[in-house]
Structure 1
Amino acid sequence: MKILYGTGNQGKLEAMRRALKGLDLEISGLKEYSGAIPKVAEDGLTPLDNARLKAIAYYKAFHVPVFSCDSGLYFEGLPEDCQPGVHVRRINGKELNDAEMIEYYSSLAKCFGKLKARYKNAVCFVLDEEHIYESMADNLSGESFYLVDTPHSRRAEGFPLDSLSVHIESGLYYYDRKETNPDELAMDTGFYEFFQKIEL
C-alpha cells in the first residue's frame, strides 16, 4: 500500500522507512506531492493532538492514506514556562532552524545545568474518513537522556538536538557510542507494531 508520511523532513522520512521496513508499505513524503501543502496550525496541547491535526489536514488535501507524527520534549524538574512540550521548535512564537535550536537549548542547559529529558511521541494514521488510528503509547517514545550545553561537532539535518544529547549511563554523546542505539530500535519497534496491527 502507498501511504503518505506527513512530513517534509527528509531525515524523518528515511528514519520511518527504516522503522517500517518489512511491512508492505511504500512511504512517500510531502515533498513528493504536487499541489499546495496545507499549513497546519499545530496548536494542540499534546503530541497526539498535533499528529491528529496534521494527518486529517493532509488527508483532506491529498485524499490518500496518510499518517503524521508529533513529539513533545519534557525536562525533569524544570519550571513549566521552560518546558518545550510540543513546541520544541517554536520558542516565543518563533520557528527555530537547526542552528538556532542548538543555540537555544545549549543556553538552557548552561542556565540550569545538564537537563534530564525525554521525548514523548505520537502517531495518527488516516486510512479514510471512517478509519482513523492513533497512539501515544509508551513504546513510541524514547528513553531519558541528558541535554548538555556543549554541542557535539556532528550534525544531522532535521535532528539538531541529537548534537546535544548524552547517554545517561555511559556519559557519552549518542554520536560517540559504538553500539546500535537500543532506544532508536525500541521506537522503531513501536511504530512497526502500530502499523502491523492495522488491517491494511
Structure 2
Amino acid sequence: MRLLYGTTNPAKLSSMKQVLDKLSIDMIGLRDLNTRIPEVEETGNDPLENAVLKAHTYYDTFHLPVFSCDSGLYFGDLSPDLQPGTHIRRVGGRSLNDEEMTAYYANLARIHGGLLTGRYKNAICLILDPEHIYQSIDESLWTEPFLLTDTPHSKRVPGYPLDRLSLDIATRKYYYDLPDRVVDSSAVHTGYYQFFRAHCHPEHR
C-alpha cells in the first residue's frame, strides 16, 4: 500500500522506511508530492493531540492514507507547569536558541538537585480512510529514560543543545563520551512496527 508520512524531514522518512521495510509499504513524504504543504498549528496539549491535528490536516488536503507523529519531553521530577512537553524549545512565550536552551535546561536540572530523569514520549495517528483511523501514545513508542545534568559537555552540535546535557542512565556518562555512541532506539522501532503491522492489514488497503 502507498502511505504518506506527514513529514518534510528526509532523515525521519528514511528511518521509518527502514523500520517498516518488511511490511511492503510504499512510503512517501510530504516533499514527494511536489505541491504546497499546508501549515499545521500544533496547538495540542500533548504529542497525541498534535499527531492527530497533523494527520487530519494532511488527509483532508491530499486524500491519501497518511500518518503523522509527534513527541514531547517529560521529566519525572517536575511539576506539570514546568514540563517541556511538546514545547521543548519554547519557553516564556519565545523560542530559545541553542545556547539559551542549554542554559535554561542546565539551570532546571541544577535547581532540582543537579540531575533530572527524562523521557521522550512519542505518539502517532494513522488515517487510512474516514472509517479506519488509529492512534496511539503507548509506552512502547517512547524512548528509554535518560539523565539530564546541570553541567554541559564541551562538545556542541548545532540544533541539538540537549545532547550536551544528556547522560546514559546506566553508566552516568555523557552520551558524547560513550564509545561508538549509538542511541538504542530498537524498542521504539519495534513499537512502531507493531502498530503498523496491526493496522495496515490487507483488508484496509
- Structure 1 position 144, deviation (Å): 1.2
Decide which moves more: 173-182 or 110-119. 173-182
Pairs aligned (count): 199
CA spacing shift, 1:142–1:132, aligned 2, 3 Å: same
- Structure 1 position 40, deviation (Å): 1.3
- Structure 1 position 142, deviation (Å): 1.3
**Counterpart position of 1:121:** 122
Alignment partner of 1:54 is 2:51: no
CA spacing shift, 1:185–1:63, aligned 2, 3 Å: same
Structure 2: gaps spanning 5 or more residues: none
**Counterpart position of 1:14:** 14
What CA RMSD, in Å, does the superposition of the two structures yield over aligned residues? 2.5
Task: Classify the secondary structure of the residue corresponding to 1:133.
Answer: strand
CA spacing shift, 1:155–1:20, aligned 2, 3 Å: farther
Q: Mapping of 1:20-169 within 5 angstroms? A: 20-96=20-96, 101-112=101-112, 113-149=114-150, 150-151=152-153, 153=155, 155=157, 160-169=161-170
Task: Classify the secondary structure of the residue corresponding to 1:27.
Answer: strand
Q: 1-side partners of 2:163 and 2:193: how far apart?
A: 22
Q: Which has the greater radius of gyration? A: 2
TM-score (structure 1 length as normaliser): 0.85
TM-score (structure 2 length as normaliser): 0.83
Q: Contact 1:47–1:122 (CA<8 Å) still a contact in 2?
A: yes
Decide which moves more: 97-106 or 52-61. 97-106
Decide which moves more: 126-135 or 98-107. 98-107
**Counterpart position of 1:185:** 186
Structure 1: gaps spanning 5 or more residues: none
Q: Which amino acid aligns with 1:126?
A: I
